[in-house]
A and B are shown apart, each in its own frame.
Chain A
């Protein structure tokens, strides 16, 4: 080892030590401050009674429940908003991305306008726009709802639709639906393997038949009964209400992120070598088959990693719902619970770890999907990747 190396090593070790020392100092300070105030560090407070109520809860919750339960309630609300936003953003993004590639000027220009308008506005403004402008100032008051028959009510308090209450025979229905869905997916996998081996057989009628089974069951035995919304003094006593807070967050996140997804879709499609399209054309594939069979599968490969990023952004950005009183993890747990308990370190640590875990699980799922469509060399799965039986 020469002198330079030794010197560098000493400097680096010193730096690391100093950083560790700094963290130790902060930690020591924290413990001293906390003990001065006679507060114990730990998650014991999670068993204390919360005492405050939350507007939207996916699991039963009352003021008498614990702070621990407020965490679960907040987490589920975050997941709900994220999942709906991700599905909508993906669908919208695909449609807009394909529209931008259309040779029809009206289509492509509309898509361009949509993308440029929405992605250049900060996401917080999107959320505030839907809540403050659309819901609070444009929609009619509760007593003068916009009505569509007895089915749909739209007013400043949200969108109310009929709810479906499961009956006694709903359990066999759930089982049949689950089995039929599994079968449909299985048939899809078989079809793909057959295509890769060069066998072409029509399998979709089987899939349709499989879907028809639960539909027929539902039609014959009525496993759910529909309950129409009923207005009482302050709210709808029945039916399902999508609250303005949830609606604003979801629509804002879906539209805002769809612009980024559409650009990813567009660029991924453009990245597929032109020769592929020309070859497909010369083989006589009609235009929608070209897209479905040749272009999109190849574009998927480049699409998935950046789209995963956008999904992670959606999950993190749903915390903006705090600005419009959406009771997500940040608002409920890192907001009210933190304020009521004063456990800043414990609460923030837990929330950060939770967001980190959700994001990591999402990337993991996406990576797993990505690896399922490409082989070891990074090409799409093809005939050569199928083990010969």
Chain B
């Protein structure tokens, strides 16, 4: 056999080997996908989450990998944020210690699997409550701690105050999202004229507004507030109060553990009621000692024995307010006037102030 032929043959053999390798790896990729689907099926856990958390001595909370205001580590590596506060409230109610929380950052893809498999006890990760998720993922939404929705950011001096003022405006949006469709639908439905510029990223769309190329930029309002913090002059821009889509964000628990579901729901309700009755982390001791309001008395465990019914100590409500504060305090500290985001309460104001946040009665 000549040298040349040997070379050709071995080259062919090599290619054949490589190709078959490609085959094998394709096949194994398939198997990996299959195991993933199997893992996604809800794990049957018999032990109650409450007992598990008490036994462990800490609550494991699923959060974002870092969304300022909602859940992000501070300069000392301690997780802070509006969603983290809700987890801290639950820990305070269950363990009497709001700091007994371990935050586990999760991607959007991982979040439900982590909850179903029992890796986390509670998911507070800017997660939208939808029928499909409730029906198909084996999870339950225990309330809405932030009413988000698609909004519009405009320059304050543009004179645009309502959605109707946007007729004929140039609007910047991120490409290929439902945001883009919602927007076109809304304008079409209302017979308004629209010039849409479609960017690859939200940051580019926001830059177009900042430079004056567009009259408005649209996205989920929480996202818009976060984009605004990066502007050179954030005080010159604001959001139109109206929203054109519903994105209710809330805490999520595993299906099939009603006791734990109730605890999460009522920890959140306590924060809402506390704001309504004017109980804050600063005056909670005073309120506990002297308030005549029976609602406050039941909430703080002076009367009633409400909390014992959930399998908690009578001071669960007191503990939440003392260590985390009420809903308004948490909002202001993380998202509102006390934070760089400076988000208006809007739909997240209490029902008594014209918002949607409504604490079910504690009695």
The answer on A and B forming one complex is yes
B43 smallest CB distance to A (angstroms): 24
User: Which A residues from 1 to 27 make CB contacts under 8 A with B?
Assistant: 4, 7-8, 11-12, 14-15, 18-19, 22, 25
Does residue B169 face the partner (Cβ distance < 8 Å to A)? yes
Chain B contacts of A157 at CB under 8 A? 170, 212-213
Bound Cα distance from A7 to B199, whole angstroms = 56
A contacts with B, residue count (CB < 8 A): 44
Least CB separation from A136: chain B residue = B211
Across the interface, do B184 and A136 meet the contact criterion of CB distance under 8 Å? no
The answer, among B2, B181, B215, for a CB contact under 8 Å with A52, is: B181
Does residue B176 face the partner (Cβ distance < 8 Å to A)? yes
Chain A contacts of B22 at CB under 8 A? 22
Across the interface, do B176 and A18 meet the contact criterion of CB distance under 8 Å? no
User: Which B residues from 166 to 210 make CB contacts under 8 A with A?
Assistant: 168-170, 172, 175-177, 180-181, 184-185, 187-188, 194-200, 204, 207-208
Q: When each residue 330-362 of chain A gets 1 if its CB lies under 8 Å from chain B and 0 otherwise, what string results? A: 010001101110000000000000000000000
Across the interface, do B12 and A15 meet the contact criterion of CB distance under 8 Å? yes
Across the interface, do A53 and B16 meet the contact criterion of CB distance under 8 Å? no
Chain A contacts of B195 at CB under 8 A? 53, 55, 235
Does residue B23 face the partner (Cβ distance < 8 Å to A)? yes
Does residue B15 face the partner (Cβ distance < 8 Å to A)? yes
Does residue B26 face the partner (Cβ distance < 8 Å to A)? yes
Does residue A64 face the partner (Cβ distance < 8 Å to B)? yes
Bound Cα distance from A279 to B46, whole angstroms = 101
Bound Cα distance from A238 to B177, whole angstroms = 32
Does residue B9 face the partner (Cβ distance < 8 Å to A)? yes
Contact (A325, B212) CB under 8 Å given A14-B16, A25-B23, A25-B26: no
Across the interface, do A325 and B197 meet the contact criterion of CB distance under 8 Å? yes
Contact (A325, B204) CB under 8 Å given A22-B22, A156-B213, A235-B170: yes
Across the interface, do A8 and B5 meet the contact criterion of CB distance under 8 Å? yes
Across the interface, do A233 and B168 meet the contact criterion of CB distance under 8 Å? yes
The answer, among A53, A136, A156, A336, for a CB contact under 8 Å with B194, is: A53
B291 smallest CB distance to A (angstroms): 54
Chain A contacts of B177 at CB under 8 A? 339
Across the interface, do B184 and A63 meet the contact criterion of CB distance under 8 Å? yes
B10 smallest CB distance to A (angstroms): 10
Across the interface, do B213 and A53 meet the contact criterion of CB distance under 8 Å? no
Chain A contacts of B2 at CB under 8 A? 4
Bound Cα distance from A242 to B184, whole angstroms = 23
The answer, among B12, B185, B198, B212, for a CB contact under 8 Å with A141, is: B212
Chain A contacts of B194 at CB under 8 A? 53
Q: When each residue 1-19 of chain B gets 1 if its CB lies under 8 Å from chain A and 0 otherwise, what string results? A: 1100100110011011001
Chain A contacts of B170 at CB under 8 A? 55, 157, 234-235
Contact (A136, B208) CB under 8 Å given A22-B19, A233-B168: yes
Instruction: List 15 A–B pairs whose Cβ atoms lie within 8 Å, in order of A's numbering.
Output: A52-B180, A62-B188, A136-B208, A156-B212, A156-B213, A157-B170, A232-B168, A235-B170, A244-B213, A245-B197, A325-B204, A336-B176, A336-B198, A339-B176, A339-B177
A-contacting residues of B (Cβ < 8 Å)? Answer: 1-2, 5, 8-9, 12-13, 15-16, 19-20, 22-23, 26, 168-170, 172, 175-177, 180-181, 184-185, 187-188, 194-200, 204, 207-208, 211-213, 215
- Apart from A325-B199, A325-B200, A335-B176, 17 more pairs, CB < 8 Å: A7-B5, A11-B9, A15-B16, A18-B16, A22-B19, A25-B26, A51-B181, A52-B184, A63-B184, A136-B211, A141-B212, A142-B212, A156-B211, A234-B170, A325-B197, A325-B204, A339-B176
